[in-house]
Amino acid sequence: MTTMTRQTTGLREFKMPDVGEGLTEAEILGWYVQPGDTVTDGQVVCEVETAKAAVELPIPFDGVVRELRFAEGTTVDVGQVIIVVDTGGGEGDEGTKPVGAAEAPAAPAEAAQAQPAGRQPVLVGYGVAESSTKRRPRKAAQAQPATERGRVNGNAHPAPAPAAPAPAARPLAKPPVRKLAKDLGVDLATVVPSGADGVITREDVHAAATPVSRAAQEPGPAPEPVAPQAAEAAEPAPESVPGARETRIPVKGVRKATAQAMVGSAFTAPHVTEFVTVDVTRTMKLVEKLKADPDMAGLRVNPLLLIARALLLAIRRNPEINAAWDEENQEIVVKHYVNLGIAAATPRGLLVPNIKNADDLSLAELSTALSDLVGTAREGRTSPAAMRGGTVTITNVGVFGVDTGTPILNPGESAILAVGAIKPQPWVHKGKVKPRQVTTLALSFDHRLVDGELGSKVLADIAAVLEQPKRLLTWG
């Protein structure tokens, strides 16, 4: 029996890349092109959502779109073909195959041998990584031809020129070094190795991290880049069937990762939460003065800015709070830098990106960083790197009119500060009951590495600064 295949000259396939280390699938949120459209190398063709963030995918070659393999809203495994483009060329590059070609499903060993020897970059900081992760069964509507099911991690970024050299091999590094790079947000593909036979060392990773002042630091366990907050995500609910008594919402993407991380955090780290109610009238007056200050013109000045500054000052006075628990080595790892996480509600769930080295920033720089961080998060453009490596977090539940709460720690961090609503309340001031601007702060911390005395000192220092903001100068 003769197998018939159609002419495939010039057809190129683009596979779902691994847009975050170790991820196995992504949901297609939207297509920016349709069959018949012309695309160019580097043009964004779709947006996908992983368990970590929403990411736009650029096509790695020129041509005309022939086929979109999956509809919007479909969850696709890494390595599956998502778009076919007619490049008008003659020969396909490595990692591509004729569309519609018939071949038997590859055995696991054969499939492994058919993969490229190394990881190939598809986006800045990302690449297709080898993985033996078992895939969950796909729905019938998403099933792929046998020619694709036996190939999990294909080349998602073929070279645009026929004479281009073979892709670089996966960087050589031992597991502890890979973990260190992940903690510091360093892409190993960009690190220059100094070890024997091209092996990347811990010193190489530290040298690649910024700023250089981190070189002597030993990071703790890598926190999951998900939100620790118990607030409702801002994701719109699906339409209910008229008369239905229940509505089922699929748990996936960021919401699924958040749920898993919160369970792990709540039942791994012994949480302790302390509360303090404080008169912040002077802080609110300072906010108004700063808004009118020409030196702060064009910057966003709000209570969160000064609360963040107060927390950073409290950490400077009590550095042991800025730590992590290393379960494997049974060590407490004190961080000498502060990556300040800010919980932000987004359309896809609650994210906690962090400001790198927030303790080194001026007030104006901190204001700019906060505005950029929150704006990017609400637009759903936060990168996985921006959510890695946090050390402490602030969650502002007061924006929802809530007085306080007991926040859950972001995995791998030692403390999280919840800020309640600021509102007028009767308060004894200078011996008389007067209306004052009052809020309640809640500090949750990991009791394995932060005892009650240390946690109380930190919370008391934050309250003292907000009550008398001139301490930002006298204590700083």
List, for residues 116-153, the tens digit of each pLDDT value: 433 333 333 333 334 333 333 433 334 344 333 334 33
Which amino acid is located at 338 in the chain? V
> Tell me, what's the pLDDT at 191?
86
Mean pLDDT is lowest, of 312-321, 349-358, 378-387, 390-399, for 378-387
List, for residues 158-186, the tens digit of each pLDDT value: 444 444 444 446 677 765 677 677 777 78
Mean pLDDT within 6-17: 76
Catalytic positions, written as ranges:
447
Mean pLDDT within 245-259: 71
Give φ, ψ of 402 to 5 degrees: -90, 140
Pick from 84-98, 208-222, 340-354 the range whose average pLDDT is largest: 340-354
> Tell me, what's the pLDDT at 376?
86
Question: Which CATH class, in words, describes the domain spanning 253-474?
Answer: alpha beta
List, for residues 271-300, the tens digit of each pLDDT value: 899 999 999 999 999 999 999 999 999 999
List, for residues 253-264, the tens digit of each pLDDT value: 666 766 676 676
List, for residues 420-438, the tens digit of each pLDDT value: 999 999 999 999 999 999 9
Give the H or E element holding residue 55: strand 54-58
Nearest CA among 56, 55, 57, 64 for reference residue 87: 64
- Spatial contact of 225 and 52, defined as CB atoms under 8 Å apart: yes
Extents of the domains making up the chain: 11-149, 172-216, 253-474
> Tell me, what's the pLDDT at 240?
56
At residue 286, the 3 state secondary structure works out as helix
Determine the CATH number of domain 172-216. Answer: 4.10.320.10
Mean pLDDT within 178-205: 79
Which amino acid is located at 184 in the chain? L
Question: Can you give the pTM of this predicted structure?
Answer: 0.54
Distance CA 86, CA 72 (A): 22
Helices (H), 102-229: 108-114, 146-149, 175-184, 202-208
Mean pLDDT within 356-368: 96
- Spatial contact of 255 and 246, defined as CB atoms under 8 Å apart: no
> Tell me, what's the pLDDT at 6?
39
HSE value, Cβ hemisphere, 13 Å, CA-based, for 162: 6
Mean pLDDT is lowest, of 66-75, 435-444, 463-472, for 66-75
- Model confidence at 91: pLDDT above 80: no
> Tell me, what's the pLDDT at 221?
38
CATH of 11-149, one of 1.10.10.10, 3.40.50.2000, 3.40.50.2300, 2.40.50.100: 2.40.50.100
Percent of the chain clearing pLDDT 70 (strictly above): 69
> Tell me, what's the pLDDT at 360?
96
Judge if the upstream peptide bond of residue 353 is cis by omega within 30 degrees of 0. Answer: no
> Tell me, what's the pLDDT at 141?
38
Mean pLDDT within 355-381: 91
> Tell me, what's the pLDDT at 216?
35
Percent of the chain clearing pLDDT 90 (strictly above): 41
Mean pLDDT within 302-308: 96
Mean pLDDT is lowest, of 228-237, 243-252, 311-320, for 228-237
Q: To the nearest whole number, what is the mean pLDDT of the chain? A: 76
Distance CA 375, CA 279 (A): 29
